[in-house]
Amino acid sequence: MIKDISTDVAGHPLIFNGDIRLRKANTKILLNKEQLDEFVKCKNDRIYFIEKYVKIMVAGKGLTYPKLYSWQKKMFKLFDGDTRIAMILPRQVGKSLSVALYMTHLMLFNRDMKNGIAADKEKTAKEIFLRIKEMLYHVPHFLKPGIVELSKTKLDFDNGSGIVVSATSETGISGFTCSGMLLLDEVALINSNLWDKFYASMEPVVASDPNAKLVIVSTPKGYNHFEKIIRGAREGYNGYSYFTQPWDCIPMRDEAWKAQKVLEVGPEKFSQEYACVVGETLVEIKNKITGEIKKVSMKELYSNSEYK
Ligand SMILES: Nc1ncnc2c1ncn2[C@@H]1O[C@H](COP(=O)(O)OP(=O)(O)OP(=O)(O)O)[C@@H](O)[C@H]1O
Ligand SMILES: [Mg+2]
């Protein structure tokens, strides 16, 4: 491991607000050649940086450095090349965390990257923000900027980058201009009546910067506004790039896992939340009273109260 720095050039500690894990703003530091080379390497190679310096919770291993899944690397490439991305992904595969990892790298190694996080609930958005904050704890001082401001909903670095957390309201993040990435997480769970106004308030946040990225991500929930965006992305008519993954896109998810999950949650829920089935896709359903089994489309399933 490369030796870290703990003081500025005058010998003062780099501690932010009494927290030794964070670095205070606007300090003059001196990096040796090894640290400088490592900084440049991390800036240019996001995957190297994450796998070497960012600790996350890994099932069975606790807090540790992750080995990124191949789909996460593919997703990062898509983020690098596109500015409007719609992603439909199974439950509990690392959706939120993957975007958080990308956002963290964007802020640490670039100037003036203003990011935003919103979700179906403010609590969900705050949790993602908290995970980013915790990621920072383990990154050495020589690889991270100083902190100007840190609260439960806002982070500002002295390189001009930062994050704000937004509530899912009709007004969105008022007065905020995004130059980095705006994440809208769990979009399928946002109330459909609120969605149009929420989206109308969020879109301008990224519209004024041609490089700003808007990422819409969710596990599907029926035939609603999210399904529409995904369909438009998949069929290429709404300006969004499309990204999806199968239910077994992470290790440990094999046929035995699937069988157990279907038992736990039922085939309909599995189809929706793990196989990400929506729209015209046919699913087999069983009438609880008559025992009759028939095939219906997901669209029918969610628009016909008979099946609810
Ligand atoms: N590459 C990886 N290796 C190991 N664990 C990972 C990796 N990426 C993410 N994880 C872990 O996967 C778990 C689920 O992550 P996350 O909450 O981001 O998933 P999600 O798909 O957003 O879940 P949900 O459907 O509940 O919103 C977390 O514990 C996270 O640390
Ligand atoms: Mg999530």
173 Cα: distance to centroid of ligand 1 (angstroms): 26
pLDDT tier for residue 308 given thresholds of 50, 70 and 90 = very low
Atom of ligand 1 minimally distant from the CA of 91: 25
Beta bridge partners of 114: 162
User: Which ligand neighbours the alpha carbon of 97 most closely?
Assistant: 1
Please give the average per-residue pLDDT across 4-14, as a whole number. 93
Across all residues in the chain, what is the average pLDDT?
91
The residue with tokens 């946040």 is 205
Please state the domain extents for the chain.
33-244, 255-307
95 Cα: distance to centroid of ligand 1 (angstroms): 6
Q: Closest Cα to atom 3, ligand 1: which residue?
A: 66
Burial of 115 (0-12, 13-18, 19+ CB in 10 A): buried
Q: Which of 67-81, 176-190, 280-294 has the lowest mean pLDDT?
A: 280-294
User: Which ligand neighbours the alpha carbon of 184 most closely?
Assistant: 2
Beta-carbon neighbours within 5 Å of ion ligand 2: 95-96
The answer, yes or no, to whether residue 299 has pLDDT greater than 80, is: no
**Over the stretch 107-132, which tens digit does the pLDDT of each residue have?**
999 999 999 999 999 999 999 999 99
241 Cα: distance to centroid of ligand 1 (angstroms): 22
Atom of ligand 1 minimally distant from the CA of 72: 1
C-beta separation of 5 from 35 below 8 A: yes
- Residues 50, 156, 84, CA angle at the centre, nearest 5°? 60
Atom of ligand 1 minimally distant from the CA of 97: 18
136 Cα: distance to centroid of ligand 1 (angstroms): 17
Question: What is the separation, in whole angstroms, between the first and last Cα of the chain?
Answer: 56
Atom of ligand 1 minimally distant from the CA of 219: 25
**Mutation test of ligand 1: which of 51, 55, 67, 93 has the most ligand atoms closer than 8 Å to its C-beta?**
93
pLDDT tier for residue 228 given thresholds of 50, 70 and 90 = very high
**Mutation test of ligand 1: which of 50, 51, 56 has the most ligand atoms closer than 8 Å to its C-beta?**
56
The residue with tokens 């290429």 is 236
* pTM listed for this prediction: 0.91
pLDDT tier for residue 278 given thresholds of 50, 70 and 90 = confident
89 Cα: distance to centroid of ligand 1 (angstroms): 12
**Over the stretch 152-199, which tens digit does the pLDDT of each residue have?**
999 999 999 999 998 777 776 767 889 999 999 999 999 988 999 989
Radius of gyration of the chain from its Cα atoms, rounded to whole angstroms? 21
Please give the average per-residue pLDDT across 224-245, as a whole number. 95
Please give the average per-residue pLDDT across 64-75, as a whole number. 97
More confident residue, 174 or 44: 44
Please give the average per-residue pLDDT across 88-112, as a whole number. 97
Q: Closest Cα to atom 13, ligand 1: which residue?
A: 94
Instruction: Write down the pLDDT at residue 156.
Output: 97
**Mutation test of ligand 1: which of 50, 52, 58, 73 has the most ligand atoms closer than 8 Å to its C-beta?**
58
Torsion of CA 259, 264, 267, 273, to 10 degrees: -100
Torsion of CA 95, 98, 100, 102, to 10 degrees: -140
Longest dimension (CA), the chain: 80
Q: Closest Cα to atom 24, ligand 1: which residue?
A: 92
More confident residue, 168 or 44: 44
The kind and range of the H/E element at 56 are strand 56-58
**Mutation test of ligand 1: which of 97, 186, 243 has the most ligand atoms closer than 8 Å to its C-beta?**
97
Instruction: Write down the pLDDT at residue 171.
Output: 72
The answer, yes or no, to whether residue 303 has pLDDT greater than 60, is: no
The answer, yes or no, to whether residue 305 has pLDDT greater than 90, is: no
92 Cα: distance to centroid of ligand 2 (angstroms): 7
pLDDT tier for residue 203 given thresholds of 50, 70 and 90 = confident
Instruction: Write down the pLDDT at residue 306.
Output: 54
54 Cα: distance to centroid of ligand 2 (angstroms): 18
Kindly report the CATH number that applies to the domain delimited by 33-244. Answer: 3.40.50.300
